[in-house]
Chain A
Amino acid sequence: DADVTQTPRNRITKTGKRIMLECSQTKGHDRMYWYRQDPGLGLRLIYYSFDVKDINKGEISDGYSVSRQAQAKFSLSLESAIPNQTALYFCATSDLNNSPLHFGNGTRLTVT
Chain B
Amino acid sequence: KNEVEQSPQNLTAQEGEFITINCSYSVGISALHWLQQHPGGGIVSLFMLSSGKKKHGRLIATINIQEKHSSLHITASHPRDSAVYICAVSGGSNYKLTFGKGTLLTVNP
| Contact status B99-A43, CB under 8 Å | yes
Hey, which bits of chain B sit against chain A, CB under 8 A?
4, 30-31, 33, 35, 40-45, 48, 86, 88, 90, 92-95, 97-102
Interface of B is mostly: strand
Chain A nearest CB from B18 CB (Å) reads 25
Q: When chains A and B are docked, how far (Å) is the Cα of A63 from the Cα of B68?
A: 35
Number of contacting residues on A, CB 8 A? 26
Can you list the 6 inter-chain pairs with the closest CB atoms, starting with the nearest? Answer: A42-B99, A103-B43, A106-B41, A100-B45, A43-B99, A105-B42
- Find the A residue at minimum CB distance from B98: A42
**Which chain B residues lie closer than 8 Å to A84 at the CB level?**
none
Q: Is the pair B95, A101 in contact by a Cβ cutoff of 8 Å?
A: no
Q: A28-47 CB contact bits vs B (8 Å, 1 = yes)?
A: 00010100000011111100
Identify A98's interface contact among B4, B31, B43, B101, CB under 8 A: B31
